[in-house]
């Protein structure tokens, strides 16, 4: 067996290994460039920003797992709208934090229902349906959030930016959310149905799985998590802005695929999202530290991601 074949085999058996290994290598490369200064700050910042990638990546992972062609491109617009709604509902009042978060989740759920309505009722391919929906959602965000200057409640801002023993509170909360999503995926009927549909949707339907209902729930889950990210991001940033979700369009897809989830569907990797999220943030940090220009930075980032996906690509799943 050649070295490349051995590496690919290992990547298939341990899908998240390459993302975590890449994050570790890039972290030390970044520290080496700075002479070892600020290593703790780099790691803490990476954990903070990685949580945002993980939150949206969890929802995108469920969607991609349902099979080829399934993807949610409405995430950035949902983040913008949900963040604006959450800040308006909270209105700087600590007593309104939970209603504000609930409103963000509700906005996301509504977007998810609209997305799947376009897919199911109008037979529009998911990539087109969610992209089209994103324009409508962003228009709503512009109409609702234009001129919005509401700061988050102090307790919510403290949650989003605070630390315990040097570890971001947000990272701890997101880790608990990740565990809950792992249980949902691997230990519930819904999660197993998602995987079965991704492996062979026709066989899943013949086995009694309500394919349309599961796919609807998956798009709702993805958009709801995007809404949650919008609220958290607004709390972290000191308020909502219309462009705060822009970077999460490709990032939400990249962290899922680099993290070991199969683009062919039917195989998800929850733990890999953390490795991929840290890898993505630390990669940009390292390139900035070395003074790489913006254009070259995008090129290098893309080539590295392609290399990881190619070398550690997941197994293909069979379909009718």
How confident is the model at residue 139, as a pLDDT?
Answer: 92
The Cα–Cα gap between 111 and 138 comes to 11
Specify whether the CB–CB gap between 264 and 68 falls below 8 A: yes
Which among 234, 254, 235 has a CA at the least distance from the CA of 304? 254
- H-helix or E-strand spanning residue 237: helix 211-237
Residue with tokens 């962003």: 138
Q: What is the band of 3 on the pLDDT scale with cuts at 50, 70, 90?
A: low
3-state helix, strand, coil in the chain (%, to 5): 75, 0, 25
What average pLDDT does the segment 55-84 reach?
94
What average pLDDT does the segment 5-20 reach?
61
Which among 218, 314, 296, 206 has a CA at the least distance from the CA of 259? 314
Residues forming a β-bridge with 167: 164
Q: What is the band of 12 on the pLDDT scale with cuts at 50, 70, 90?
A: low
The Cα–Cα gap between 153 and 87 comes to 9
pLDDT exceeds cutoff 60 at 9? no
pLDDT exceeds cutoff 90 at 6? no
Residues written for the chain: 320
Q: What is the band of 21 on the pLDDT scale with cuts at 50, 70, 90?
A: confident
The Cα–Cα gap between 163 and 161 comes to 7
DSSP single-letter state for residue 119: H
The Cα–Cα gap between 135 and 56 comes to 19
Specify whether the CB–CB gap between 107 and 81 falls below 8 A: yes
First to last CA, the chain: 31
pLDDT exceeds cutoff 80 at 109? yes
> How confident is the model over 183-230, as pLDDT tens digits?
999 999 999 999 999 999 999 999 999 999 999 999 999 999 999 999
Residues contacting residue 237 through CB under 8 Å, at least 6 positions apart: 244
Query: What is the torsional sign of CA 64, 56, 184, 21?
Result: positive
Say whether 168 sits in a helix, a strand or coil: strand
> How confident is the model over 270-302, as pLDDT tens digits?
989 999 899 888 888 777 777 777 777 778 777
For the chain, what is the mean pLDDT?
Answer: 86
pTM: 0.88
């Amino acid at each position: 067996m050649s070295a490349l074949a051995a590496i690919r085999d290992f990547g298939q058996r341990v899908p998240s290994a390459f993302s975590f290994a890449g994050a570790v290598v890039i972290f030390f490369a970044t520290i080496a460039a700075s002479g070892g200064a600020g290593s703790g700050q780099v790691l803490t910042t990476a954990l903070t920003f990685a949580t945002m990638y993980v939150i949206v990546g969890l929802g995108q992972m469920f969607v991609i797992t349902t099979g080829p062609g399934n993807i949610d491109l409405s995430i950035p617009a949902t983040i913008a709208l949900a963040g604006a709604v959450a800040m308006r509902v909270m209105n700087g009042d600590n007593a309104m934090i939970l209603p504000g978060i609930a409103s963000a989740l509700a906005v996301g759920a509504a977007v998810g229902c609209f997305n799947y309505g376009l897919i199911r009722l109008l037979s529009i391919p998911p990539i087109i349906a969610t992209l089209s929906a994103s324009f409508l959602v962003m228009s709503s965000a512009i109409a609702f959030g234009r001129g919005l200057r509401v700061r988050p409640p102090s307790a919510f801002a403290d949650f989003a930016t605070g630390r315990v023993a040097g570890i971001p509170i947000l990272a701890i909360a997101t880790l608990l959310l990740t565990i809950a999503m792992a249980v949902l995926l691997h230990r519930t009927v819904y999660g197993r149905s998602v995987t079965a549909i991704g492996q062979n949707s026709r066989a899943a339907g013949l086995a009694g799985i309500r394919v349309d209902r599961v796919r609807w729930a998956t798009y709702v889950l993805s958009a709801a998590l995007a809404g949650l990210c919008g609220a958290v991001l607004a709390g972290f940033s000191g308020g909502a802005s219309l462009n705060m979700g822009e970077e999460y369009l490709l990032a939400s897809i990249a962290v899922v695929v680099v993290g070991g989830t199969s683009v062919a569907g039917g195989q998800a990797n929850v733990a890999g999202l953390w490795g991929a999220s840290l890898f993505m943030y630390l990669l940009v940090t390292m390139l900035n530290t070395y003074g790489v220009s913006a254009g070259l930075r995008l090129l290098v980032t893309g080539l590295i991601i392609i290399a990881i996906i190619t070398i550690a690509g997941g197994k293909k799943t069979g379909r009718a």
